[in-house]
Amino acid sequence: MGSLNARTIGIGMVGHAFMGTAHSLGWRNARSFFAPPLLPRLTALAGRDRTAATATAERFDWSEVVTDWRDLIARDDIGLIDICAPGDTHAEIAVAALAAGKHVLCEKPLANSVAEAEAMAAAAAAARENGVRSMVGFTYRRVPAVALARRLVREGRVGELRHVRARYLQDWLTDPAAPLTWRLRRERAGSGALGDIGAHAVDLAQYLTGEDVTGVAAVTGTFVRERPLPDGGTGTVTVDDTAAFLGRMTGGALATFEATRCATGRKNALRIELNGTLGSLAFDFEDMNVLQFHDATADASVRGFTRIQVTEPEHPYIAAWWPPGHGLGYEHAFAHQAADLLTAVATGDDPEPSFDDGLRVQRVLAAVEESAAAGSAWTGIPGAAARTGTPDTEGKP
């Protein structure tokens, strides 16, 4: 547990539903299980539905509920704004908070458009000059098995990368009677499965490899065009149900991506596999405490995929939790996220993933939609190859 003498920072959170609940638990557990040099105070929660917001606040001991996020930014007792609201609110809230000198944690995808994400990244860069930090919430980076995979890649255990396979499969929209929510409206969500869950697949591919997606050739689809409205009647679905695309990484590796919310029987199947000249790594969130590693340099008589149970204190984040063999769950990555951000704010370091990282993902999402609209035409990602200085035939496969 954090020291009683540690400094504190007031948290103001915008949003109270699924992500609001996850983030609330993350802030609470970061203080209870880790020892960040800056401890969070759950100062105020903002939600347009006061009754629903109050219910979340009471469950997690938020001190106060407001109905306007601007009230959070105006308060002197709040130093960090946590944005868990729908995507159409991200840019306005984040830019205003950063301009007011508040640190910001913003849920993914960073924005609903590249233009919004660019404005947010610019605001973050300006605020950084004044010691104000910002981070985007790609929490799967902080699953211990994923963090271990990144460590192995950095150590050269995979060798020269040749293939990346990333997919995120869910089934909660398989039923045509599933209601029309904000996640199915372009003006609120920006895109459908592509931005909601595909963004995670793209971010993990870029995070694990340390490279960018330089171009894509894509298809998208919407299987159910009309869905029931909560108050009766039906409404039009204006986003994709599924997206699939081919890509190239900066170093030349071939990448394939799939995101869908209509894969019957798949509940939260985020899977990524890397194949290189010296080895391979594979992770599936539906078995989240396990990392599969193949060491191609091992003796042929024992060579094969090793199932690593990522529950040892030597593994990332694990020492703060339970004895070896006692697995973690979905909610733990949010505590890791909160603890890492609190530490970065206290030490003056730049947290990751940054708003620039979020912008890079946003550019891939935009290229996927552009490619799909043009009949799967190859579409380059602006600035991707320039980041590492190794363009490969203009990113084409």
Mean pLDDT for 45-60 is 97
Per-residue pLDDT band for 1 (boundaries 50, 70, 90) equals: very low
Residue 386: predicted pLDDT: 54
Q: What is the pLDDT of residues 186-213, one digit of tens each?
A: 999 999 999 999 999 999 999 999 999 9
Q: What is the pLDDT of residues 147-194, one digit of tens each?
A: 999 999 999 999 999 999 999 999 999 999 999 999 999 999 999 999
Buried b (16+ CB within 10 A) or exposed e, 306-340: eebebbeeebbbbebbeeeeebbeeebbbbbbbbb
Specify the DSSP class assigned to residue 195: I
Q: Is the pLDDT of residue 47 over 70?
A: yes
Q: What is the pLDDT of residues 226-257, one digit of tens each?
A: 999 988 999 999 999 999 999 999 999 999 99
Q: Where are the domains of the chain?
A: 7-139, 143-395
Residue 322: predicted pLDDT: 97
Q: Is the pLDDT of residue 59 over 50?
A: yes
Residue 391: predicted pLDDT: 35
Torsion over CA: 193, 199, 200, 201 (sign): positive
Q: Is the pLDDT of residue 380 over 50?
A: yes
Assigned superfamily of 143-395: Dihydrodipicolinate Reductase; domain 2 (3.30.360.10)
Max CA distance (Å), the chain? 65
Per-residue pLDDT band for 5 (boundaries 50, 70, 90) equals: low
Mean pLDDT for 312-322 is 98
Q: What is the pLDDT of residues 73-130, one digit of tens each?
A: 999 999 999 999 999 999 999 999 999 999 999 999 999 999 999 999 999 999 999 9
Per-residue pLDDT band for 384 (boundaries 50, 70, 90) equals: confident
Mean pLDDT for 264-292 is 98
Residue 6: predicted pLDDT: 72
Mean pLDDT for 306-313 is 98
Tokens of 44: 């105020």
Q: Where do we find the tokens 């769950």?
A: 329
Helix, strand, coil shares of the chain, percent, nearest 5, are 40, 25, 40
Assigned superfamily of 7-139: NAD(P)-binding Rossmann-like Domain (3.40.50.720)
Per-residue pLDDT band for 396 (boundaries 50, 70, 90) equals: very low
Residue 395: predicted pLDDT: 41
Residue 385: predicted pLDDT: 67
Phi, psi of 14 (to 5 degrees): -105, 115
- Model-level pTM? 0.95
Residue 83 to residue 19: CA distance in whole angstroms: 9
Residue 220 to residue 241: CA distance in whole angstroms: 8
Contact 172, 340 (CB under 8 A): no
Q: Is the pLDDT of residue 392 over 50?
A: no
Per-residue pLDDT band for 30 (boundaries 50, 70, 90) equals: very high
Residue 123 to residue 210: CA distance in whole angstroms: 24
Average pLDDT of the chain, as a whole number: 95
